[in-house]
Amino acid sequence: MTLEQKIANKEVKIGIIGLGYVGLPLAIEFTNNNFSVTGIDVLQEKVDLINRGKNYIGDVVDGELAHAVQAGFLKATTDFAVIRELDAISICVPTPLRKTKDPDVSYIIAALEEIAKYLHKDMLIVLESTTYPGTTRELMLPKLEESGLKVGQDFYLAFSPERVDPGNPVYKTKNTPKVIGGVTKKCTEIAKLLYEEVVDTVVPVYSSESAEMVKLLENTFRAINIGLVNEVALMCDKLGVDVWEVIDAAATKPFGFMKFYPGPGLGGHCIPIDPFYLSWKMKTLNYNARFIELAGEINTAMPEYVVELLTEGLNQQKKAINGSKLLILGMAYKRDIDDVRESPALDVMKLLEAKGAAVDYHDPYVAEIQWNGGHKKSVSSKDWDLTFYDAAIVITDHKNLDYEIVTRKVPLLIDTRNVTGKFISSYKNIIRLGDKRG
C-alpha cells in the first residue's frame, strides 16, 4: 500500500516529535480524525502525563486528550526507535536564539539524527519548527539522503510553519490555514494530502524555502509594526499627546491602516525571536536587514522605558526605586495565558531588583516562576494588601482583574496596556505608557 493510500484510508501511522504548544494540539487534531499518533518527547514527565490522559496545554481540550488516549489513537514515548514503525513525522521542537542572536537549531539536529537512524522508504518528514530559509533543504536533506534513499521518490520532505496563537478563542490548529512547501513538487503533494485531512485550508507554496520565509514574514511584520508603534508611544510622551487616543482615531480610517498597540516589550516564542532568524540568514549573504535590527532595538529597550516611567512616578512622590516595594501585575507574555517565554515582565523584574527594589508579582495563570536559582510565587489577590506597595506596574492585562480597585489602593500605578483608559481622568496616581499627560 502506498503512502497516499494509507493517508486516504486513515491507516498512516503518524509521529510527532516535541509535545509542547505546537506538537500536542497537532497530535489531537489528527486523533480527532481517527488517525493513529505516536508522540515522542525527551521529557519523561510529558510522556507520562499523556499516557495517563492528563493535559498540560491550555489550547488542548482535556476531554479530547483523554478520549484519544483511551481510544488508543494517541500514545507517547521517549524511545525514538518507534520511528521505524511510522509513516509520517512532524517535527515540532523548540528553536531558540542564542545570546549572540544566531539560530540554535540543536533541537532540530537532534531530532533529525534520530529520524535518519530509522528512515525508510515511503516516509514523509515535515519540519514545523520556525527556522531560517534553507534549513529544510540545506540541513535536513543531506543527512536524510545519506541513507541512499532519494527525496521525492523514496521519501518526502517538507516544511510547514506552525501558526499557533496560544489562548486564541477563535483560531486553532484546524481552522488556521496551513502553508506547506516541499523540497520537490511530489513532497508538497504528499504533505498536502496528509494535512488537508485535519486542517480546513492547506496552502501549497513552490518550495520549502518559500514556506520558511512565509513564517518569518508573518512575525517580522508584527515585530516591525510593534516597534513602530512603540517608538510612536515614545514620541507621544515627549509631545504630551495620548498615543492610545491617536491609535484609535487613526484606526477609524477604513483603508491603509492596521491597528497595533504599544507595550512593555515583546514576549512569546515567535515574535521576539523569528525575525532574527531572517536577519542572521541575510548576514550570511552580506545583507543587513535594517528594519529588523531597528525594530529589535526599540522593542528590546521598552522594559527599560517602563522602569524610567516608574522612576519618574516615584520621584514625584519623593521616593526612590531602591528600597521600594513593587507589584508587577501579569507575568505571562500576553493576556489570559500561562506562557512566560520571553515575557517582558521578566526583564522589568530583573531591572527593578538590580536597582534595589523588592518585587512581587501577581498572575492568576502563573503560580510560580523559576527565579535566581529558585522559585518566586505569585501573590494571591485574595489576601494581598495593596496598600503595602509603593507602586504597581501593569505588564500583562489579564481580564479577570479589577484594575480600578487596584488603582484606588496603590499610591502609584504604571499602566503599559491602557487598562485604565476608561477611568484615568478620575485618578491622579496613574502614569500610562505613551501618555505623560496621565
Residue 278 confidence (pLDDT) above 70: yes
Same fold, 3-216 and 239-432: yes
What does the pLDDT average to over 335-356? 95
437 pLDDT above the threshold of 70? no
Contacts of 100 (CB under 8 A, 6+ apart): none
For the cut 90, the answer to whether the pLDDT of residue 362 exceeds it is yes
pLDDT of residue 174: 95
Give the pLDDT mean for 373-392: 91
Report pLDDT for 438: 47
Domain residues of the chain, as ranges? 3-216, 239-432
Residue 185 — φ and ψ, nearest 5°? -60, -40
- Tens digit of each residue's pLDDT (9 = 90 or more) over 63-76: 999 999 999 999 99
Whether the per-residue pLDDT at 152 is higher than 90: the answer is yes
Question: Which percentage of the chain shows pLDDT scores above 90?
Answer: 91
pLDDT, tens digit (0-9, with 9 covering 90-100), for 190-211: 999 999 999 999 999 999 999 9
Instruction: Indicate the pTM of the whole model.
Output: 0.92
According to the model, what pLDDT value does residue 324 have? 97
Per-residue pLDDT band for 1 (boundaries 50, 70, 90) equals: confident
Contact 418, 395 (CB under 8 A): no
DSSP lists the bridge partners of residue 413 as 392, 430
Instruction: List pLDDT tens digits, range 16-66.
Output: 999 999 999 999 999 999 999 999 999 999 999 999 999 999 889 999 999
pLDDT tens, position by position, 75-92: 999 999 999 999 999 999
CATH, domain 239-432, list 3.30.930.10, 3.40.50.12780, 3.40.50.720, 3.40.50.300 = 3.40.50.720
List the beta bridge partners of residue 319: none
Query: Would you please indicate which residues are annotated as catalytic (active-site) residues?
Result: 270
| Degrees to nearest 5, angle at CA 297 with 326 and 266 | 50
How confident is the model at residue 420, as a pLDDT? Answer: 96
Q: Say if residue 158's pLDDT is above 90.
A: yes
Find residue 157's DSSP bridge partners: 125
Condensed to tens digits (0 to 9), the pLDDT of residues 101-128 reads 788 999 999 999 999 999 999 999 999 9
At residue 383, the pLDDT reads 76
Q: Which CATH number fits domain 3-216: 3.40.50.2300, 1.10.150.120, 3.40.640.10, 3.40.50.720?
A: 3.40.50.720
pLDDT at 275: 92
